[in-house]
Amino acid sequence: MNTWTGPRELLRDPPPTPRARPARARRALTASLALALGVSGLGSATAATEVTQRNPGGLVAVGPVNTEHGYPAWYEDSAQVRTELCLDAGNPLCGFLPGDVPDPTQPISFPGNFPSEAFYMLAGSELELPGGGRAVLVLALEAAFANENPVPGDQVVFARQRVTVRGAPPDTTLTFTHPYGTVTVDTDEEGEGKIVEDVSPAIGNFQTPLKGDIGPFLRWDSGAPEGYLGNPDVEHTITGSPLGQNHFSVTGGGLDLRTDLFTVMGKISTNTGVQADRAVLGDGYVDVFATSRGDQLQVEGQDGVLATTPMEKEEGDSERAYARIAYTGTAPASVTVTNLGDDPVSRSEVPVTDVSVATAATYDGTALSVEAVSSSGAVPEVAGFGALDPVPDRPNTYRGAFPTVAPPVEVTVATSETSRTTVPVLVTGGEASPVGEAPVDPQPDPGPDPGDTTPDNPDAGEAPGAVASIAALPGSVVRGVPTELDGSASPNAVSYEWSQVSGPAVAFSSTTDARPRVTVPLFTTVGAASPSAPDADPVLQLVVTNAAGVAGEPARITLPSDDEVTVAAASRHRPGKELRISGTAVVPGAPTLLNPATTVNVYDTTSGSAVKLGTAQVDSLGNWEFRVKPGPSRRVSTVLVQSSRGGQAEGVVGTG
């Protein structure tokens, strides 16, 4: 086959044409999502680039996270085939290209010598088009990072299908059939087109690829290397399509081409992996919980502290494992669970933490009573009130009573930053509050009293005053995505009351938590027929009270919630032929992968009034493009673009 690049390179991005924007890196291009062009009011101008045949349910399960690199140990398809990441830089069956691994002479290790992308499966195929053009198919289950570079906590896995066309018949719609479905691609005047769908990149949520169209895994129909789906350097016929479409074909625009040859990469997993879920510190013991399909699990010993101990599992298909281990001396900071049935042995490390559980919180009209259990024997504290006292003859149980005339709605009990629980307060008794009396005329201020009991003189017996304090936000708030507010550092606070002062109405997860989550509504939606009026950033307020029920001065915080929108100078309109408008929409300081994705509405403002042209989706790099053919016959020279995340921009559309 006469190709521009070798078989493995076909699976990545094709080389750009001279007019394409320079690539900062190959993966910067691969990160872009498909543009969902929902166009209204343009009749036959509706964009044709879309997925027309789906393939749900191809992947059915995801394995435990491997703590050595932070990705799942495996994914399983509907044919009960499991694959793992192929992480051997010197193994050609893993399909790495030069530069993928920082130091290919050394073993791959996270994060210092780790590729910015790896694959559970990567399959590709190519069609040669008349005149030297080509169409390239990529089907993948890909492990990557939200911001490209290997950074702990940025791991994402997504299911990808992509078709890239160059040198095809211009200004036409092509229909492509592949093993997992059918897509249509609309080509431009130069015969180029592209569709990319990534489902669904979400940091740390490795279940989302199960919703994609990838699966069952494709593999050679015969002769595959032992332990692998295929060889990425050799084209071969395949099997695995649940639709009976083990080929790549194109029709439309005078084309009718088909190939049965694919390059396939994927390492079959024989390991089950292991995930250490939790290690709880008790009175002389550590209780360890883990998840694995394996049956040979153990907690690794630590010299002089704890012994190597096998873990127990229920009979049958249960993946739960447990061990209780006595320790000597100082409790371990962490424990490691190993799966001896894996080759190489799988390991998962988890920190050892204590657990405090509030078992009761009641108010009898005079005092707040709280009872709690601490797994380690550490003394629990009730936020805003103080420490609890041991209960005689009840190990690790603590109780306390705190006089107050105004109890909180709920109390938080903690023994550490990682061990805290919150429970509601149950009122069990007390007299009815006195009815109101006639107002009393104010008397002259007698001045300070040396014996006065004020918040500035707490030793006189009155509870110290509460001061509301809200932690600063690290960046802009992403509309439509919950953001945590933090008022827990408010001195002497016992209860919290959040409210809104101004701006678009936000949704609180709770108005009485110290750390509620708040969601700012989207500025506009795909269904909007006209531009939305600009709104101000929401302003919120926190009021806290002390143990005596006295409220302090409120604290306020403004939520910067608009993204930054631009319209590219390269936007063009050829009346009756094509309208192409592009730009960016970026939320400062926010992750690149947002759910739901940002959308922009594009309005024609040439006549002085805004007429909606359509909607475009913003990709994971913050780029968007609205493109329609043949487009309006009337000239579009200026546009207004509004983002669902609050920003807007005006732009000039050129000709030609």
Q: Which of 327, 353, 379 is the last residue of a domain?
A: 353
Indicate whether 519 pLDDT > 70.
Answer: yes
* Owning domain of residue 260: 7-268
Instruction: Please tell me the distance from the alpha carbon of residue 169 to that of residue 349, in angstroms, as a whole number.
Output: 55
Whether 456 is in a domain gets the answer no
Q: What is the pLDDT of residue 593?
A: 63
Whether 612 is in a domain gets the answer yes
555/613 same-domain check: no
Q: What is the pLDDT of residue 56?
A: 82
Indicate whether 642 pLDDT > 80.
Answer: yes
Whether 176 is in a domain gets the answer yes
The total of structural domains in the chain comes to 5
Instruction: Please tell me the distance from the alpha carbon of residue 390 to that of residue 388, in angstroms, as a whole number.
Output: 7
Whether 41 is in a domain gets the answer yes
Please, which pLDDT band fits residue 417 given cuts at 50, 70 and 90?
A: low
Whether 608 is in a domain gets the answer yes
Reported as a single tens digit per residue, the pLDDT across 382-402 is: 988 989 999 998 888 999 999
Indicate whether 43 pLDDT > 70.
Answer: no
Q: Which of 539, 561, 583 is the last residue of a domain?
A: 561
Indicate whether 524 pLDDT > 80.
Answer: yes
Q: In residues, how long is the chain?
A: 656
Percentage of the chain beyond pLDDT 90 is 52
71/184 same-domain check: yes
Amino acid symbol at 566: T
Reported as a single tens digit per residue, the pLDDT across 160-194 is: 999 999 999 998 999 999 999 999 998 888 899 88
620/547 same-domain check: no
Instruction: Please tell me the distance from the alpha carbon of residue 644 to that of residue 630, in angstroms, as a whole number.
Output: 26
135/254 same-domain check: yes
> Which of 87-101, 144-158, 247-261 is most confident?
247-261
Q: What is the pLDDT of residue 33?
A: 29
241/112 same-domain check: yes
Instruction: Please tell me the distance from the alpha carbon of residue 167 to that of residue 572, in angstroms, as a whole number.
Output: 21
Whether 363 and 427 have beta carbons less than 8 Å apart is answered as: yes
Reported as a single tens digit per residue, the pLDDT across 473-491 is: 877 889 988 899 999 889 8
285/260 same-domain check: no
480/618 same-domain check: no
Mean pLDDT of 433-460: 58
281/331 same-domain check: yes
> Strands across the sheet with 38-39, in order?
38-39, 611-617, 599-604, 638-643, 648-652
Nearest to 236 by CA among 249, 219, 252, 250: 219
Q: What is the pLDDT of residue 454?
A: 46
Reported as a single tens digit per residue, the pLDDT across 45-60 is: 334 578 888 888 899 9
Q: What is the pLDDT of residue 50?
A: 81
Indicate whether 590 pLDDT > 80.
Answer: no
Q: What is the CATH number of the domain that holds 504?
A: 2.60.40.10
Q: What are phi and psi of 585, to 5 degrees?
A: -150, 105
Nearest to 96 by CA among 122, 129, 128, 75: 122
213/310 same-domain check: no
Q: Which of 230, 249, 268 is the last residue of a domain?
A: 268
58/117 same-domain check: yes
Tokens of 161: 């299908």
